[in-house]
Structure formats: structure tokens, C-alpha cells
């Protein structure tokens, strides 16, 4: 009985501790946060992944124009920098950033000059539509430029859409690519176009993220992979009072993620969402293309959903609002 009593006391103490940790005020992201759904009339943000790559080749002007015309809230794009320091829209398409997975060219962007890639590389070459066809494969240079599937620069994007939309820009720095230099050039361009209030910068690389956090606290910044892991672990172990968001605006995660020992961990639970919102940070999920999962995340309180199919997400939100 003595051991039972001690055990019950321990359990009671543990439950009380958890309750205290749940109600104690936590450090908050101190600025107004336009990346939460409350800033979007309560609707989950529609974030077009690579400009919405289901219907068009991703990270091209064609895809961005399509999604902009649909009325998405956010253009989610990836940037790299060419050898001659031009910021261009491209994902790290394999482990080294080689562009052969998405074009007719074989090379590393950070070893190639912009004009060389612009004139020779068709970034619609491997795109396959829903009918299994390759509509952009047999094009001349003039044709693929007219179709908007050439190597697009960030300057073109900012010029075309300016402050009429929000941007989620992820810095890619694969292989031997310049790293801090990409961040510096991006921040400079954001400031030149006066878009500080319209851009959320993201990167998986903690050194780039830390550089921006320290030197440009006025820039909206998503957590790096290292920061995201730390935040998730604190949330799931009731240690929210020990997490300080400082300049981090948003937590962007897949629906599940691999952790040591734990293996595959569901990241869509109420605790993590509540933890994020208590810190006045936004929760965005990627890359969600299934209708049922979209509905589940919207109803759970997700602030934004990054999707290849923005038209589907727009329809889902409209149907939920009309219930």
C-alpha cells in the first residue's frame, strides 16, 4: 500500500506539473503575424507549391501566373543562384541540385551562367500532364520562352506580381552552392522591391537561417530543420515555456516526420498546433494534395497548406465555408 500511495502521489504530481506547464504564459513571436489564418479572414492560406506544379512545370512563370490567376494567397517558390549571381527559381532537384530531372540540360546551376541556362534549357521538358503527355517536350527556344517554362528569375516574379500577393521563398543551397551570399542577395532584392511585409523566407539550412535571424530580424522567417526539430520536441514534452521564437514567424512541416528512436511521428496533432499558436507562430503543412487530408488539417486549425493542386484546396475551403 505504501508503494501504491507513493505511485499515486507521483502520478498526481506529474499531472499537476503538466497542467501548470500548459497554463503558464509562454514567450511569443512579438510582431503581428500575417502568416496565421486570422490575418486571412480566418481561412487557411492557400500556398501554391512551386507555383502549383500539378497543372504546370513547377517554379516557372507559367505555373506562377496560373496560380496567381486562380487567386491563391501565397506563391511558394524555391530559389538558387547561378554562377554569375542571378537568383533563379529552381528546387534542389536531386542531392546535388543538378537540373537534369526537370529540364533537357545536365548541370549544376551554381556552375552555370544565367544566360547559358536561359538559352539552352527547357524546364518543361520532363513535365507530364494528367493524360500522360509531354506537352512542352518538342519546343524550340522561342516556343518554351513563349510558354513560360524557361529559367525564371526572382526579379521577374517580383516585377510581375509585386505586392499583389504573398511569397514563401525557400533558399536552396545544394552541394557547393554559395550559401550566405544567396541570403544576402535575396534580402537585398526584397528590400529593393519594398516587399518586407509580403515575403516569408524559408530554408532547411540552419546556418543560413541563423544568419538571417541575427542580421535581419525584420524579415519574416520560417524555422530551419534544426529549429523545427527543437520546437517539435519541446512541444511534445510539455516544455513550451522553454521555447523562445525570437524572429521565427512560422513552423512549416510535413504531416509526419522521421525522428530517432520514435521513427515516424505524426505532426498534425492538437498539441503541436496549440503549442505553435501559443507562441503566436503560424503552422503550415506540406505538401498536401489529398482532399480528405486537406479537410482534416483545415478543421484542426492549420494556418496554411502548401499544395501542388491549389485549385482543389480553394474548392475545399469554399465548400467548408458554405456548409
Question: Is 302 contained in some domain?
Answer: yes
Q: Does residue 22 have a pLDDT over 60?
A: no
In the three-class reduction of DSSP (H, G, I as helix; E, B as strand; rest coil), residue 218 is classed as coil
Cα–Cα nearest to 309, from 179, 130, 101: 130
Q: Which residue has the higher pLDDT, 18 or 101?
A: 101
Quick: pLDDT tens for 174-214.
888 888 999 999 999 999 999 999 999 999 899 999 999 99
pLDDT at 12: 46
3-state secondary structure 143-182: HHHHCCCCCCEHHHHHHHHCCCCEEEEEECCCCCCCCHHH
Sign of the torsion angle spanned by Cα atoms 293, 295, 300, 306: positive
Q: Does residue 43 have a pLDDT over 50?
A: yes
Query: In this structure, what C-alpha cell is assigned to residue 244?
Result: 523562445
Q: How confident is the model at residue 259 (pLDDT cuts 50, 70, 90)?
A: low
Question: Is 68 contained in some domain?
Answer: yes
Question: Is 23 contained in some domain?
Answer: no
Residues 6+ apart with CB under 8 A from 202: 168, 169, 170, 171, 221, 222, 250, 252
Question: Is 168 contained in some domain?
Answer: yes
Range of the domain at 47: 28-89+154-321
pLDDT at 4: 53
Query: In this structure, what C-alpha cell is assigned to residue 263?
Result: 521513427
Question: Is 136 contained in some domain?
Answer: no
pLDDT at 14: 40
Output the average pLDDT for the chain: 88
**Could you tell me the CATH number of the domain that includes residue 281?**
3.20.20.190
Q: Does residue 41 have a pLDDT over 70?
A: yes
Question: Is 284 contained in some domain?
Answer: yes
Q: How confident is the model at residue 2 (pLDDT cuts 50, 70, 90)?
A: low
Domain count, the chain: 1
pLDDT at 301: 95
pLDDT at 300: 93
In this structure, the number of other CB atoms found within 10 A of the CB of residue 79 comes to 24
Q: Does residue 83 have a pLDDT over 90?
A: yes
Q: How confident is the model at residue 106 (pLDDT cuts 50, 70, 90)?
A: very high
Q: Does residue 107 have a pLDDT over 70?
A: yes
Question: Is 286 contained in some domain?
Answer: yes
Q: How confident is the model at residue 94 (pLDDT cuts 50, 70, 90)?
A: low
Quick: pLDDT tens for 217-231.
999 999 988 888 888
Cα–Cα nearest to 185, from 173, 198, 176, 197: 173
Q: Which residue has the higher pLDDT, 20 or 255?
A: 255
Question: Is 22 contained in some domain?
Answer: no
Cα–Cα nearest to 169, from 110, 226, 70, 252: 252
Amino acid at each position: 500500500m505504501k508503494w501504491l500511495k507513493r505511485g499515486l502521489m507521483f502520478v498526481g504530481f506529474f499531472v499537476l506539473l503538466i497542467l501548470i506547464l500548459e497554463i503558464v504564459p509562454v514567450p511569443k513571436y512579438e510582431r503581428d503575424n500575417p502568416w496565421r489564418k486570422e490575418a486571412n479572414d480566418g481561412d487557411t492560406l492557400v500556398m501554391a507549391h512551386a507555383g502549383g506544379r500539378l497543372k504546370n512545370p513547377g517554379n516557372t512563370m507559367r505555373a506562377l501566373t496560373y496560380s496567381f490567376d486562380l487567386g491563391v494567397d501565397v506563391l511558394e517558390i524555391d530559389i538558387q543562384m547561378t554562377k554569375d549571381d542571378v537568383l533563379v527559381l529552381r528546387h534542389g532537384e536531386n542531392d546535388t541540385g543538378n537540373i537534369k530531372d526537370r529540364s533537357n540540360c545536365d548541370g549544376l546551376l551554381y556552375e552555370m551562367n544565367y544566360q547559358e541556362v536561359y538559352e539552352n534549357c527547357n524546364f518543361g521538358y520532363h513535365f507530364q500532364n494528367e493524360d500522360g503527355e509531354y506537352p512542352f517536350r518538342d519546343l524550340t527556344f522561342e516556343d518554351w520562352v513563349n510558354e513560360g517554362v524557361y529559367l525564371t528569375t526572382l526579379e521577374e516574379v517580383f516585377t510581375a506580381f509585386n505586392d499583389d500577393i504573398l511569397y514563401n521563398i525557400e533558399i536552396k543551397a545544394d552541394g557547393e552552392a554559395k550559401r550566405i551570399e544567396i541570403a544576402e542577395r535575396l534580402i537585398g532584392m526584397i528590400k529593393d522591391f519594398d516587399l518586407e511585409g509580403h515575403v516569408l523566407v524559408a530554408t532547411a539550412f540552419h546556418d543560413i537561417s541563423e544568419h538571417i535571424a541575427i542580421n535581419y530580424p525584420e524579415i519574416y522567417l520560417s524555422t530551419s530543420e534544426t529549429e523545427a526539430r527543437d520546437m517539435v520536441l519541446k512541444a511534445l514534452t510539455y516544455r513550451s515555456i522553454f521555447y523562445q521564437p525570437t524572429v521565427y514567424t512560422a513552423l512549416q512541416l510535413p504531416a509526419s516526420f522521421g525522428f530517432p528512436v520514435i521513427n515516424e511521428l505524426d505532426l498534425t496533432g492538437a498539441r503541436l498546433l496549440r503549442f505553435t499558436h501559443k507562441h503566436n507562430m503560424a503552422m503550415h503543412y506540406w505538401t498536401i494534395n489529398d482532399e480528405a487530408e486537406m479537410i482534416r488539417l483545415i478543421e484542426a486549425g492549420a494556418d496554411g497548406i502548401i499544395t501542388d493542386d491549389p485549385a482543389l484546396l480553394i474548392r475545399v475551403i469554399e465548400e467548408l465555408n458554405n456548409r
